[in-house]
Amino acid sequence: MSLHIKDIKKGDVISITGGGGKTSLMFFLAEKLAETGRVAVTTTTKIYIPDEKSYEKMYVQGEVTEGLNKNIFVIGDKRKGDKLSGLTYDSLEVLKGKYDYILVEADGARERMLKGWNETEPCIPPFADMTIGVVNIKSLGKSVVEKDIHRLSKFCEVTGEKTGTVVDRKVLENYINTGDFFRESQGRNIVYLNGIETVDELKTGIEMGKTIENLYLGSIWNGWIERYKSVDAVVMASGYSKRFGGEKLFEEVGGMPLIEYLLKKLKNIPFNKVIVVGRDERSRALAERYGYEYAENKKAHLGQSESVKAGAKRSTGEGVMFFPGDQMMLTEKSILTLIEEYQKRDEIVRPEAGGIPSSPVIFPKRYIEDLLKIEGDSGGREVIKGAEKVFKIRFEDIHEFIDIDTRQDLEEVVEVMKLKPSL
């Protein structure tokens, strides 16, 4: 979980606004930050009284309640029923010298995922160093109606959405871009898209990351929060296929060139861009048909490294994912699984099928200079060997990752495709 390591510093006051996981996020961050210092957890509105397992001590109107956790201190002004009411800004500022971190729930949504804001919300202290606006991806499919949205009339007024509209990605993006998550905020602002627990939700999150600034993706339930990082795809299609005995990538399979199976699947993945590295007009024509960038490899005879370098030079993403052009059976789910691991780690990520390292491999941008120095047929293997960390993601189905080197390999793949048409 990199948010507290890279973006939260000792002494910071963090406000949390929005809906769909604010309190869960606050205590999740408190757990992580408590490893390095004393954490005050409080509110400028109201929060439910937390379980004693969540804190070391809770202070309310001079009353001290002992808890079971360490280094987390809940502070409220008053206790009313099952809720704590919040502190004034002046009271909060007094805490700054007493705790290493202060986490403030600065908004209310009445347990709904989306909301409209009135003129007094959110209640962000002017000295807050960061404000995190929380949006839950599971609001997709909800409706613009009272039971799903707090302050419905305000929501419709600001977003321009109509009552009864189903919340899709465009509505959610509009909500993020027009909402008052950060009204009066004078510090750093980020949006946290919570609830990403399936590859389809990840795909939507990545699509949103292409248009929303300072977006973080993750799931409190699964324990991760990471800044969205753009990823390019490089399809290496300039080899000579000597073992195959001909132009492998343009061998007709089921009425289309072998390479087109991969190109079609990449169209469904929200990459920053797709780069096809080729050496003839057929490669260029296919790249243009799919709207991909084309990179001509004039040094293909020098080995696979030249294809890697040609793609790396064109890459503008924060990560780059290298695909051999002959991986016909790769599924969208497996590609997104690898991208998810990269989003979580920002390290080299590669698949391992049947105990054998395979492709596609994702390299963070910081490895581009190393990739541009490789020679011969080693591809990126030498860079992987020299890397401090490489994360291998294990897959059960080895067929997806078959490397088609010979005609016999292709025959095997075709037979598998008959048995598993979903691939």
pLDDT computed for residue 420 by the predictor: 67
| Distance separating alpha carbons of residues 344 and 228, to the nearest angstrom | 9
**What does the pLDDT read at residue 421?**
60
Torsion angle of the four alpha carbons 359, 364, 370, 376, in this order, in degrees rounded to the nearest 10: 20
* Average pLDDT score over residue span 367-376: 94
Note whether 283 and 238 are within 8 A (CB).
yes
Please state the domain extents for the chain. Answer: 3-227, 231-419
Per-residue pLDDT, 252: 87
Residue 1's pLDDT band, with cuts at 50, 70 and 90, is very low
End-to-end CA distance of the chain: 33
In this prediction, residue 3 carries a pLDDT of: 57
Which residue type, as a one-letter code, is found at position 253?
Answer: V
Between β-strands 390-395 and 348-353, what pairing exists: parallel, antiparallel or unpaired? parallel
Measured CA to CA, the distance from residue 403 to residue 408 in angstroms comes to: 11
Is residue 235 classed as helix, strand or coil in its secondary structure?
Answer: strand
Q: How far is 251 from 176, CA to CA, in rounded Å?
A: 47
Q: What is the pLDDT of residues 276-293, one digit of tens each?
A: 999 999 999 999 999 999
SS3 166: strand
196 three-class SS: coil
Measured N-to-C along each axis, helices 332-345 and 199-209 cross at an angle, to the nearest 10 degrees, of 60
pTM of the model: 0.92
- List Cα–Cα distances, 96 to 90, 91, 368, in angstroms: 10, 10, 42
We find that the CATH architecture of domain 231-419 is Alpha-Beta Complex (3.90)
pLDDT tens-digit readout, 38-63:
999 999 999 999 999 999 999 998 89
Please report, for residues 82, 100, 244, the alpha-carbon distance to residue 189 in angstroms, rounded to integers and kept in the order given.
30, 20, 54
Most confident of 128-142, 226-240, 405-419: 128-142
Evaluate whether the domain defined by 3-227 bears CATH number 3.40.50: yes
Burial class of residue 418, CB neighbours in 10 A (0-12, 13-18, 19+)? exposed
Tell me how far apart the alpha carbons of residues 172 and 337 are, in angstroms, rounded to a whole number: 24
Instruction: Name which of 14, 221, 229 is nearest 137 in CA terms.
Output: 221
Measured distance CA(421)–CA(418) in Å, rounded: 6
CB 150 within 8 A of CB 112: yes
Cross-strand pairs, 46: 85
Mean of all residue pLDDT scores within the chain: 92
Q: How far apart are CA 341 and CA 347, in angstroms?
A: 9
Position 273, amino acid: K
Report the pLDDT averaged over residues 257-263.
94
Is the pLDDT at 423 greater than 60? The verdict is no
pLDDT at 167: 97
pLDDT tens digit sequence for 163-195: 999 999 999 999 999 999 999 999 999 999 999
Q: Please, are residues 297 and 307 in contact by the beta-carbon 8 Å criterion?
A: yes
Concatenating the DSSP letter of every residue in 3-64 gives HHHHT--TT-EEEEEESSSHHHHHHHHHHHHTTTS-EEEEESSEEEPPPGGG-SEEEETTEE
Dihedral of the alpha carbons of 398, 401, 404, 409, in degrees to the nearest 10: 10
What are the residues facing 114 on neighbouring strands? 149
Q: What is the Cα–Cα distance from 384 to 114, expressed in whole angstroms?
A: 44
> 319-324 and 256-257 as β-strands: parallel, antiparallel, unpaired?
unpaired
Contact call for residues 162 and 145 (beta carbons, < 8 A): no
For 310-345, how does the pLDDT look when each residue is reduced to its tens digit (9 = 90+)? 999 999 999 999 999 999 889 999 999 999 999 998
- Which pLDDT band, with edges at 50, 70 and 90, does 209 fall under? very high
Indicate if the pLDDT at residue 242 is higher than 70.
no
* Burial (0-12, 13-18, 19+ Cβ within 10 Å), 361: buried
